[in-house]
């Protein structure tokens, strides 16, 4: 993991203090309310007080279940493969490998799950994710083309859904996984209404 993860380099809240140095079009800077999780260490643009919304805790349960299933499969494959060749050291090696790898994957999965956060602001939606590679996406409601709510079979099992915002740019990646289905529906309706109200042409 990154070396500077724990010591978050937070400078004082930037709201209204820093005059934007980028030309007159850009200087309509309004004071920002927002709070970037401390892990988003070097981005001081969004530090404030407003809390970020998180995916449902059931998403963590889903991730654990997925990982558990994967571990069982890996164990079975390892044992079967080693038993096929009939070597005891091979079997032990495979088991040890899985035993070492499983907690590590669990840790990585937990951190990645915790990194997801989103915030509905007045004019735009923020989505933050990633541990090693931290990403923060901003989509103004007026630029939204349509909203997708998807729920795969596993997600349905855990009564979860993902919401995805599409803009005219293919690269926009505002996706929020692991939402409670009611929350996903609420978010979809709200985003659609806001997008409708502020729609701007291409």
Partner 1 sequence: MPERGVPAAPGPTWQRLHPLTPVVAAVRSLAVLALVLLEDSRSHSGGVGPALIVVGSFAFLLLLAGLVRFAVTRWALDGPTLRIETGLLRRDARQLPLARIQAVDVVRPFVARAFGLAELRVRLAGSGRANGRLAYLTEPAALDLRARLLAGHHGLDQATPEPAEQPLATVPPARLIAAALLSPAGGITLVLAGALVALTTVSQAAAAAVGGTLFVYAISFAHRTWRRVADQYGFAVALAPDGLRLRRGLLSTVAETVPFARVQAVRKVEPLAWRPMGWCRVEVDVAGSPGREQGTRSSRLTRALLPVGPTATADWLLASALGLRQFELAKPPRRAAWKSPLSYHFLGSASESGVIAASKGRVRKTTMWMPLEKVQSIRWVEGPLQRALHLATVRVDAAGRGVVADMRDRDSAEASDLFESLLAWTPT
Residues that bind partner 1 (CB under 8 A): 1-4, 9, 11, 14, 18, 20-30, 32, 40-46, 123-124, 132-143, 145, 166-174, 198, 200, 202
Measured from the CB of residue 24, what is the shortest distance to partner 1 in angstroms?
7
92 or 168: whose CB is closer to partner 1?
168
88 or 170: whose CB is closer to partner 1?
170
Greatest alpha-carbon span in the chain: 74
Measured from the CB of residue 88, what is the shortest distance to partner 1 in angstroms?
40
135 or 186: whose CB is closer to partner 1?
135
Torsion of CA 53, 59, 63, 69, to 10 degrees: 180
Measured from the CB of residue 43, what is the shortest distance to partner 1 in angstroms?
5
Residue 149 near residue 185 (C-beta atoms within 8 A):
yes
Measured from the CB of residue 81, what is the shortest distance to partner 1 in angstroms?
34
Per the structure block, which two tokens stand in for 52? 């970020």
Instruction: Please choose, from the candidates 167, 123, 124, the residue with its C-alpha nearest in 3D space to the C-alpha of residue 145.
Output: 167
Distances (CA, A) of 75 to 23, 79, 172: 60, 6, 39
41 or 71: whose CB is closer to partner 1?
41
Cα–Cα dist 107/146, whole Å: 35
Measured from the CB of residue 126, what is the shortest distance to partner 1 in angstroms?
9
98 or 139: whose CB is closer to partner 1?
139
Per the structure block, which two tokens stand in for 24? 């007159």
Torsion of CA 77, 80, 85, 91, to 10 degrees: 80
Cα–Cα dist 100/107, whole Å: 12
88 or 171: whose CB is closer to partner 1?
171
Measured from the CB of residue 75, what is the shortest distance to partner 1 in angstroms?
31
């Amino acid at each position: 993991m990154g070396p500077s993860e724990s010591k978050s380099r937070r400078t004082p809240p930037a709201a209204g203090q820093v005059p934007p140095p980028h030309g007159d079009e850009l200087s309509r800077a309004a004071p920002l309310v927002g709070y970037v999780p401390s892990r988003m260490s070097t981005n001081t643009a969004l530090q404030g007080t407003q809390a970020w919304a998180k995916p449902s805790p059931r998403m963590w349960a889903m991730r654990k279940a997925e990982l558990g299933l994967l571990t069982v499969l890996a164990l079975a494959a390892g044992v079967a493969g080693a038993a096929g060749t009939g070597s005891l050291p091979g079997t032990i090696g495979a088991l040890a490998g899985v035993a070492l790898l499983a907690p590590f994957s669990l840790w990585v999965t937990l951190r990645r799950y915790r990194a997801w956060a989103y915030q509905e602001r007045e004019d735009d939606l923020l989505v933050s994710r990633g541990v090693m590679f931290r990403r923060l996406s901003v989509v103004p409601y007026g630029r939204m083309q349509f909203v997708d709510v998807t729920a795969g079979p596993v997600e349905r099992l855990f009564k979860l859904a993902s919401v995805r915002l599409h803009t005219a740019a293919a690269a926009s990646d505002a996706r929020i996984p692991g939402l409670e289905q009611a929350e996903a529906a609420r978010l979809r309706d709200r985003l659609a209404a806001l997008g409708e109200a502020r729609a701007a042409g291409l």
